[in-house]
Amino acid sequence: MKSATLALALFTFATLFSGRAQVFPLPEPTRPSTFPLIRPSVTGTVVGWGFDRYGETDPQAGLAGVVAIAAGSSHTVALKSDGTVVAWGYNNYGQATVPVGLNDVVAITAGAFHTVALKSDGTVVVWGNNDFSQTKIPAGLSKVVAVAAGGLHTLALKSDGTVVAWGDNTFGQTNVPAGLAGVVAIAGGARHSVAIVQDGVVAGRIVAWGSNSTGETSVPGGLSGIVAISAGGFATAVLKSDGTILGLGYNYPATPSGLTNVVSIAIGGDNHMLALNADGTVVSWGENGQGQTNVPTGLSGVLAIATGNDDSFVLVSDGLVVPNRALATAQVVNGFVVGLNLIGGGKGYTNPPTVLIKGGGGSGATATAIVSQGTVTGFTITNPGSGYTSLPQVLIASPPFTPHATLAVSRVNVTVNVVLGLTYQIQASNDLVVWTPTGPPFVADSETITQEFIVADTGRYFRVVLVP
């Protein structure tokens, strides 16, 4: 059975982050706890080699702006910076046929013959082969922060640190151990599943279940300090915080002597390995029947790696950073906002963005953001407000963009994207010459505002204008 694995240079949650770690010891993996989830912000181009019977190592012409990659048995998947997904290669089960209209994706993974996408709202979309119900998402599944695909099964990590699994269970690979909690990363192999646990008892310990025919789920006693995992056909690879690799199972290809400074790992279905070094170069070893370990000469600047059954893929940086919004939560003590917790600093800020604090039963709290090298690094509370009985919502303006209005449906709903704190007015026209206000000016307390209009009363063209 062919399987697939995916790994990004910043190890935890394959496709939720990007950017290559360069400092050792590598930091412990963490689990997102708030939504929306963040898409990787560094883009690149896809390079593939190895088995190419179905064109799986040949990216579509002109494919650019890719932020994550995944590989199945004989198909390949790419996540673009705009949240859309592209797939190519073997498509006998529809695994390379991306659902129409799929967007807002933040992470991808691929099984032998199925594909999984995670959206920013924590919901999951699966398509392709369903012989073992691996594409049948459990009813009510939500608040997912990471996904992993095994050969014929699927795994989801929830924001509370628990794991949900479905699909083929011939070897117990979907029997999540009772009481498993505190999980921060997951991986699926052909017939087994693996998780990293941070439960305050042992930092970075491994839990594995399913087939153990080659020792792939036999975790050595005392093993800890693990920051990344990858599950292959009949072996498991783990990355330690010191940048060294340990293999589980006698099918694991022996790690080259002296290999250190590794920041990401991926093991293929036929047991070949890829390792991404801190300097952006790649090392590969193991089964090479299809040239899957023949790393292209001069390859560098790699952000992410992925392995299919007997092929290999990398995402090579194009030097571009896609702007994305910073996220934060509030700290409340005795009814006052005393601080803001930075969840993600975002990218692309040229000036400190507007920060709005609303809800929570209180009022008056204000804060300013601190920006360094395009990223929000902290906040200064300028007024703690008062009367807060619960945590208020923290809204941070996105990096610079041009405010615009989009006609969502012909009836007509108009969705307006604006900058927090500024004053706008929506106008309508029938001839693009004379524009009439649809209502009074408003101060933006959200970056996205939707209003419904009757076209006969307003017009069929809409725009949003900044009011001085």
pLDDT in tens, 126-183: 999 999 999 999 999 999 999 999 999 999 999 999 999 999 999 999 999 999 999 9
Tell me whether the omega of the peptide bond preceding residue 25 falls within 30 degrees of 0, making it cis: yes
* Distances in whole angstroms, Cα of residue 253 to Cα of each of 64, 245, 248, 390: 33, 11, 10, 53
Q: How many whole angstroms separate alpha carbon 379 and alpha carbon 39?
A: 23
Are 136 and 156 a contacting pair, CB within 8 Å? no
Mean pLDDT to the nearest integer, 326-343: 91
In what side-by-side order are the strands of the sheet with 144-149? 144-149, 153-158, 163-167
Q: Are 208 and 236 within 8 A, CB to CB? A: yes
pLDDT tens digits, 401-453: 655 454 433 457 778 888 888 998 988 887 677 888 888 999 988 888 888 87
Across 393-402, average pLDDT: 81
Chain CA centroid to CA 375, Å: 19
pLDDT band at 272, cuts 50/70/90? very high
Q: How far apart are CA 186 and CA 198, in angstroms?
A: 12
The predicted pLDDT at position 411 comes to 59
Contact between 142 and 134 (Cβ < 8 Å): no
Look at residue 162 and give its three-state secondary structure: coil
Q: How confident is the model at residue 22 (pLDDT cuts 50, 70, 90)?
A: low
Average pLDDT score over the chain: 88
Which regions of 1-57 does DSSP assign to beta strands (E)?
5-8, 42-50
pTM beyond 0.75: no
Neighbouring-strand partners of residue 81 = none
As to burial, measured by CB atoms within 10 angstroms (0-12 exposed, 13-18 middle, 19+ buried), residue 410 is exposed
pLDDT over threshold 90, residue 47: yes
Chain centre to alpha carbon of residue 416: 26
CB 204 within 8 A of CB 198: yes
Ramachandran angles phi, psi of 96, nearest 5°: -105, 10
DSSP assignment letter at 129: -
Q: Considering just the CA atoms, what is the radius of gyration of the chain in Å? A: 24
User: Is residue 456 classed as helix, strand or coil in its secondary structure?
Assistant: helix
Tokens at 351, concatenated: 């000036």
Separation of alpha carbons 108 and 269, rounded Å: 18
The tokens describing 41, both together, are 């912000």
Q: Residue 21: what pLDDT?
A: 56
Q: What are phi and psi of 248, to 5 degrees?
A: -115, 130
The whole-number pLDDT of residue 434 equals 82
